[in-house]
Amino acid sequence: MNYRWITALAVVALGVLAGGASYLCFHHTMSMSSGQNHDSLMWVRHEFKLSGEKLAKVEALHEAYESVCAEHCIAIADARKELKRLQNADASPAEIKSAADKAKAIDARCIASTEAHIKEVAALIGGEEGRRYLSIVLPRVVLFDHAGPASLDLHPTPTHDTPAGK
């Protein structure tokens, strides 16, 4: 084989090695910083480098809010289920309006409660990092389409800390 071709193959192999090493190096670093344990609070812990007392407080707050969140889930699903039942049963407009108002009120209460929780966590994190937490998390809750098609399945979602079927 011509030396020129041997050299070209060697240069390509060198490039592949360099690319692979670079990928492994960067991806390893970022994976370590994201954490391998995928519980829902993992991102907050690593992104804001929480440790010690601050971490314990944030974890306690998160844990406490999980039960509140579960209650809200049931309330939202119940209200939507009732509204759907009335609509399907051709109930009077007044009854439907009352159920819709109730569902809206529950939605508003849940959104307010979630926002309050997020602000509490941000205050616990504190300073610039707290503001950064708020700027990342709050828009994802506020801008979420809360009137989207609802699931009436009340089993815990697999995304929750307590896995479904546990």
Partner 1 sequence: MKTHPQDEALHQLLQHWTVEPRPDPGFRAAVWARIDSARRMAATWSGWLRLNVARVSYCAAASIVFAGTGGGLLAASQANREREQLIQRYVVSIDPHQQVNAPR
Of the residues 89, 128, 159, 166, which one makes contact with partner 1 according to CB under 8 A? 159
Based on CB atoms, which residue is closest to partner 1, 6 or 60? 6
In this structure, what token pair is assigned to residue 137?
């998390």
- Does 161 bind partner 1 (CB under 8 A)? Our answer is yes
For Cα atoms 16, 24, 7, give the angle at the middle one, nearest 5 degrees.
15
Contact 165, 94 (CB under 8 A): no
Distances (CA, A) of 57 to 45, 100, 157: 12, 37, 25
Choose one: 52-60, 70-78, 91-99, 123-131; the region binding partner 1 (CB under 8 A): 70-78
How far, in Å, CA of 163 to CA of 166, rounded? 6
- Does 69 bind partner 1 (CB under 8 A)? Our answer is yes
Number of residues that bind partner 1 (CB under 8 A): 64
How far, in Å, CA of 11 to CA of 36, rounded? 35
Interface residues with partner 1 (CB under 8 A) are 3, 6-7, 11-12, 14-27, 30-31, 34-35, 38, 40-44, 47, 62, 65-66, 69-70, 72-73, 75-77, 80, 107, 110-111, 114, 117-118, 136-137, 140-141, 144-146, 148-151, 153, 156-157, 159-161
